[in-house]
């Protein structure tokens, strides 16, 4: 008898003596359930360990995205001003339509009115600060020494959505002496390009001297653009 | 109890005794074999769907778990208490003959891995490829382990019985 056969016989003889007992199903079921619970607990522990890192990463990502969405919504729907640099591109003359300016005397020495504009741009654009100079009927500045209008809250940026109308309050005060009064204003956009807007009423202020203005002196000022509801 | 538990119970009822005998063959100890089978079946039952549908052969999975459990049995053995006197065991009339007993005892003294290889190859009729697959080693390892185990076994048996061929 060779060794392999002897091994087979020895093992077969021994395992044949193993008593046949009913399978311990109840104990097995309990053990299986215990192992399933253990596996679920391990999984839960792993998830709980990973969750904070995921939450922090997800939180940062969604917060940044949410901020961007809110910012865009605020710009698109309300057109409100927001501090800091507006992400929208600056409006160009081609983006704007229905540009007109009106004003009327507020007092003997002051004219006040509005500069209105409607966006024809396909997407929101930044209006920038309303910097303008007054020009006479010859197209020249009425006073070469007159600096561009002072702008209130120059740091603010107004973004105008498509089809929205924005307006800025303009003011000219002073004592202007000359034959050719301001008939238009030359509005310089942030892009550097300008729009010349005819004033509704060409007005020549009186040539007077006052405690505030000497003869020939004048100042201009403007507010920021606000969206017209 | 859901369907998978029902299937699992059926598998256990059908194969439990065969698995016990397999575990006994590779361990040489019935209580240890029962422990190994219990653990292997618990593992299998906990992932029954995975075992049944991905592997397709639950019994192979259980056998592999038994072999792996036997390989790592040293962890639990360290917790066993050694005693100076072992209880007497009464011999039975239907005990196996001396010659097969000598082979069995020699088998029990083999390293676990070699014993498992011999049982799988010569008692379970596994091919070299299937044995290597179950024990997760190369076919060359199975061949060398078989050769070493047979040489050791032959030497032990010849030492005890010089007439052994």
pLDDT the model gives residue A86: 47
Q: How confident is the model at residue B142 (pLDDT cuts 50, 70, 90)?
A: very high
Across the interface, whether the CB atoms of A20 and B122 are under 8 A apart is answered no
Size of interface A-B (CB pairs under 8 A): 89
Nearest CA distance, B150 vs chain A (angstrom) = 8
Residue ranges of the domains in chain B?
Answer: 1-82, 95-165
pLDDT the model gives residue B129: 92
Q: Which chain A residues are closer than 8 Å to B22 by Cβ?
A: 15
Q: Which chain B residues are closer than 8 Å to A32 by Cβ?
A: 5, 8, 41-42, 45-46
pLDDT the model gives residue B164: 66
Given CB atoms, is B158 within the 8 Å cutoff of chain A? Answer: no
Question: Which of A4, A25, A34 has the CB atom closest to B122's CB atom?
Answer: A4
Q: Which chain A residues are closer than 8 Å to B107 by Cβ?
A: 7, 10-11
What is the pLDDT of chain B when averaged over all its residues? 81
Which residue would you say has higher pLDDT here, B141 or A187? B141
Across the interface, whether the CB atoms of B104 and A29 are under 8 A apart is answered no
Residues A164-187 have pLDDT tens digits of 898 888 887 776 666 667 788 888
Q: By the 8 A CB rule, do A222 and A169 touch?
A: yes
* CATH fold label, A93-228: Immunoglobulin-like (2.60.40)
CATH architecture of the domain B95-165 equals Orthogonal Bundle (1.10)
What is each CA distance from A63 to A59, A86, A155, B27, B85, in whole angstroms?
6, 18, 26, 61, 73
pLDDT the model gives residue A224: 80
* H helix or E strand, kind and range, residue A125: strand A125-126
pLDDT the model gives residue B148: 93
Nearest CA distance, A50 vs chain B (angstrom) = 24
B100-124 average pLDDT score: 88
Residue ranges of the domains in chain A?
Answer: 19-78, 93-228
pLDDT the model gives residue A35: 83
Is the whole model's pTM more than 0.80, yes or no? no
Look at residues A97, A103, A106, A100 and name the one whose alpha carbon lies nearest to residue A170.
A103
Given CB atoms, is A43 within the 8 Å cutoff of chain B? Answer: no
* H helix or E strand, kind and range, residue B96: none
Across the interface, whether the CB atoms of B122 and A12 are under 8 A apart is answered no
DSSP string, B139-161: HHHHHHHHHHHHHHHHHHHHHH-
**Ranges in chain A, pLDDT < 50:** 79-86
Count the alpha carbons within 13 Å of A73 in the hemisphere toward its beta carbon: 6
Residues B41-97 have pLDDT tens digits of 988 888 888 777 766 778 888 888 898 888 877 655 555 555 566 555 554 445 555
ipTM for the whole complex: 0.74
């Amino acid at each position: 008898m060779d060794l392999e056969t002897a091994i087979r016989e020895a093992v077969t003889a021994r395992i044949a003596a193993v008593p046949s007992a009913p399978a311990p199903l109840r104990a097995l079921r309990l053990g299986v359930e215990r192992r399933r619970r253990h596996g679920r607990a391990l999984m839960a522990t792993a998830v709980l360990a990973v969750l904070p890192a995921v939450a922090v990463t997800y939180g940062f990502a969604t917060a940044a995205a949410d901020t961007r969405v809110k910012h865009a919504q605020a710009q698109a729907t309300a057109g409100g001003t927001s501090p800091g640099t507006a992400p929208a591109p600056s409006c160009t003359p081609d983006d704007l339509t229905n540009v007109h300016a009106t004003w009327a005397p507020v007092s003997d020495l002051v004219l006040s009115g509005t500069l209105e504009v409607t966006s024809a741009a396909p997407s929101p654009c930044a209006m920038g600060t309303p910097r303008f100079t007054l020009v006479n009927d010859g197209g020249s500045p009425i006073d070469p020494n007159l600096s561009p209008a002072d702008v209130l809250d120059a740091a603010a940026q107004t973004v105008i959505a498509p089809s929205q109308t924005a307006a800025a309050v303009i003011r000219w005060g002073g004592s202007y002496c000359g034959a050719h009064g301001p008939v238009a204003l030359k509005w310089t956009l942030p892009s550097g390009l300008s729009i010349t807007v005819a004033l509704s009423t060409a007005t020549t202020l009186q040539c007077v001297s006052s405690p505030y203005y000497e003869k020939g002196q004048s100042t201009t000022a403007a507010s920021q653009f606000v969206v017209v509801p | 109890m859901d369907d998978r538990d029902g299937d699992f119970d059926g598998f256990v009822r059908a194969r439990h005794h065969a698995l016990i005998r397999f575990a006994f063959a590779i361990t040489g100890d019935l209580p240890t074999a029962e422990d190994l089978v219990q653990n292997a079946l618990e593992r299998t039952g906990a992932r029954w769907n995975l075992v049944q549908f991905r592997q397709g052969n639950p019994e192979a999975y259980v056998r592999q778990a038994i072999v792996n459990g036997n390989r790592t049995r040293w962890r639990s053995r360290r917790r066993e208490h050694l005693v100076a006197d072992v209880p007497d065991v009464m011999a039975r009339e239907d005990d196996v003959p001396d010659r097969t007993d000598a082979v069995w005892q020699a088998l029990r003294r083999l390293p676990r891995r070699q014993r498992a290889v011999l049982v799988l190859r010569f008692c379970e009729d596994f091919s070299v490829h299937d044995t290597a697959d179950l024990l997760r080693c190369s076919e060359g390892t199975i061949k060398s382990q078989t050769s070493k185990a047979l040489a050791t076994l032959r030497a032990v048996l010849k030492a005890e019985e010089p007439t052994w061929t």
